[in-house]
Amino acid sequence: MPTVHLLDYVAGNIRSLVNAIEKLGYEVDWIRSPEDVSKAEKLILPGVGHFGHCMTQLSQANYLPAIKKHIEAGKPFMGICVGLQALFQGSEEDPEVPGLGVIPSYLTHFDESDKSVPHIGWNNANTGGKVMYDLRPDSKYYYVHSYKSPYSKGTLEAQGWTVATGTYGTETFIGAIAKGNIYATQFHPEKSGVAGLRTIKAFLTGSGAQNLGADLPSDVASAGQKDGLTRRLIACLDVRTNDQGDLVVTKGDQYDVREKGADRNVRNLGKPVEMAKKYYESGADEVTFLNITSFRDCPLADLPMLEVLRQTSLTVFVPLTIGGGIRDTVDTDGTKVSALDIATMYFKSGADKVSIGSDAVLAAEEYYSLGKKLFGNTAIEQISRAYGRQAVVVSVDPKRVYVPKLDATRHAIVETKFPGPKGEAFCWYACTIKGGRETRDMDVVELTQAVEAMGAGEILLNCIDKDGTNSGFDLELIQQVKNAVKIPVIASSGAGNPGHFEEVFEKTTTDAALGAGMFHRGEYTVKQVKDFLQDKGLLIRQFDG
């Protein structure tokens, strides 16, 4: 088997990259010391999280001279995400930390006055009609980053670089860049489905470096779709052990996952790994697993979920999120295990993001009780610091609380079009923990603003009243939270048909929408929803397998 060398220096989900490389028929050899770099023919530098953290790690382990030497020797080099950023002179993220300086440009933060940051989701790598590592104008690629290299047409090209761009709001940034033996992508090719595997293959086989910068055939160049970030559609699998002891995908109505009949069995809608693969092949932009009874189990005994991730990441090349039980805990033998340790186990097993529910509410309560001060000790802060903001999702499980008038509560209120049982015209959304079993005196605005301050990168916004009802998303809740935070929001709960997805994208500014029951019960496929949205003129990504 041909070999590629991967530099193992940084936290994050490298498993998916290894899986992608192995799927393409290559073997991964690890580089564990600077001396190993000289043995590499083809070298890949992956990276997630913080620019400064990555560069400092590389520098302290004395990797930087070895990487430079590899590049200068003309050997194939590929940088991914922060691995691309490392090639630049530096980044606004950590102004004191220098980059490798191979590309004479500097990274800046996205303007967040008019859009969510981080930039998370599927966007173009538009080569401007040029040949570049099998990047195609009609494909979309998965990005997740807050800092970007601004693109100024012609500048880098004049120095021999071929550049592919993405557009986010009014900003155009470098999505991929190549010259000679160097290829680097800001997007994650290992998470970009078939399109991503294609570009990794072009690097591995060496075909990508040939014809670099030549004109694409006109029929290919003109096959492009509109630039920009697509609407993200996420398939969610609630997973738990049923009464027979099998790990199953289940689905509740307002969080009650048991059948309505006398025996009250846990609803069994299928096997997690198989269903995740089915949704990936139908075009899901991401797959989320929620381990919904984790609050009862010891997470470390919860090895089946780790195996689910390992198996899923062998065949599913889009981002995987895992939620449930991410909190400091004590193992059965009395050993203390931090939320960060648990997250690390999940990342090593193939997760790209972890989702925190109950623990986030408790941390937010403490944040307010301490006068909005942070001490770096919450699970969100620790995981965000180690793996980057983009790796931390906070899952919110709110319930509507109706009130008769605006000043009836201290909480952030919505004037609702759907009055309460006594005709109440207002409501607020109370956060819950333990899968909705316990309601706390905290509203969704308080919670989401607190976790944003702690370093969460995204909000998964469920709604217990809407869950499993097939009656559409709670638009009032979603817009209230969107107005409260800058980080992306995933709308969840209530989707029953493709029109509900159109509605949430048209009537709110949500960044993504999630469906569960309608897909599990086979009422609609992910592809049908995407075809519908595309027909309505929304920008979406189709599975290009």
Q: Which residues are known to be catalytic?
A: 81, 188, 190, 238, 397
The kind and range of the H/E element at 519 are: helix 517-520
Neighbour-count burial of 235, counting CB atoms closer than 10 A to its CB (0-12 exposed, 13-18 middle, 19+ buried): buried
The residue behind tokens 């989702």 is 355
- Is 294 a binding residue for ligand 1PR by CB under 6 A? The answer is yes
Considering the complex, state which of residue 184 and residue 363 has its C-beta at the smaller distance from ligand 1PR: 363
Q: Name the DSSP class of 126.
A: B
- Is 326 a binding residue for ligand 1PR by CB under 6 A? The answer is yes
- Is 148 a binding residue for ligand 1PR by CB under 6 A? The answer is no
Backbone angles phi, psi at 431, to 5 degrees: -80, 150
- Is 302 a binding residue for ligand 1PR by CB under 6 A? The answer is no
State the binding string over 227-266 for ligand 1PR (x if CB under 6 A, else -): ---------x-x------------xx--x-x---------
Stretch of 129-137, 292-300, 345-353, 449-457 contacting ligand 1PR, by CB under 6 A:
292-300
Considering the complex, state which of residue 327 and residue 482 has its C-beta at the smaller distance from ligand 1PR: 327
Q: Least distance in Å: CB of 234 to ligand 1PR?
A: 9
Residues 492-531 contacting ligand 1PR, CB under 6 A = 492-495, 515-517
- Burial code (b: 16+ CB inside 10 Å, e: under 16) for 287-296 equals bbbbbbbbbe
Q: Does the CA dihedral 465-471-473-476 come out positive or negative?
A: negative
Task: Please answer whether residues 458 and 481 qualify as being in contact, where contact means their C-beta atoms are separated by less than 8 angstroms.
Answer: no
- Is 397 a binding residue for ligand 1PR by CB under 6 A? The answer is yes
From candidates 99, 468, 472, 498, binder to ligand 1PR by CB under 6 A: 468
Task: Please answer whether residues 291 and 240 qualify as being in contact, where contact means their C-beta atoms are separated by less than 8 angstroms.
Answer: yes
- Is 395 a binding residue for ligand 1PR by CB under 6 A? The answer is yes
Considering the complex, state which of residue 356 and residue 529 has its C-beta at the smaller distance from ligand 1PR: 356
Q: Least distance in Å: CB of 451 to ligand 1PR?
A: 12
Considering the complex, state which of residue 56 and residue 254 has its C-beta at the smaller distance from ligand 1PR: 254
Considering the complex, state which of residue 174 and residue 490 has its C-beta at the smaller distance from ligand 1PR: 490
* Inter-axis angle of helices 358-369 and 379-387, nearest 10: 110
Distance separating the N- and C-terminal Cα atoms of the chain: 24
Residues 400-459 contacting ligand 1PR, CB under 6 A = 435
- Is 295 a binding residue for ligand 1PR by CB under 6 A? The answer is yes
- Is 472 a binding residue for ligand 1PR by CB under 6 A? The answer is no
Bridge partners, residue 515, by sequence:
235
Closest-CA residue to 235 (of 487, 13, 513, 425): 513
What is the C-alpha to C-alpha distance for residues 388 and 123, in angstroms, rounded to an integer? 20
The conformational region for residue 376 under phi > 0 = left, psi -120 to 50 = alpha, else beta, is left
- Is 299 a binding residue for ligand 1PR by CB under 6 A? The answer is no
Bridge partners, residue 395, by sequence:
460
Backbone angles phi, psi at 514, to 5 degrees: -120, 140
Q: Least distance in Å: CB of 237 to ligand 1PR?
A: 8
Bridge partners, residue 392, by sequence:
354
Pull the structure tokens for residue 394: 């906070």
**What does each C-alpha distance from 90 to 44, 99, 138, 501, 533 come to in angstroms?**
20, 5, 32, 40, 40
- Is 290 a binding residue for ligand 1PR by CB under 6 A? The answer is yes
Residues 340-369 contacting ligand 1PR, CB under 6 A = 355-359
Considering the complex, state which of residue 209 and residue 360 has its C-beta at the smaller distance from ligand 1PR: 360
- Is 99 a binding residue for ligand 1PR by CB under 6 A? The answer is no
The kind and range of the H/E element at 362 are: helix 358-369
Residues 25-84 contacting ligand 1PR, CB under 6 A = none
Considering the complex, state which of residue 5 and residue 251 has its C-beta at the smaller distance from ligand 1PR: 251
Considering the complex, state which of residue 313 and residue 493 has its C-beta at the smaller distance from ligand 1PR: 493
Provide the binding-site residues for ligand 1PR, judged by CB under 6 A: 236, 238, 251-252, 255, 257, 290, 292, 294-295, 323-326, 355-359, 395, 397, 435, 462, 467-468, 492-495, 515-517
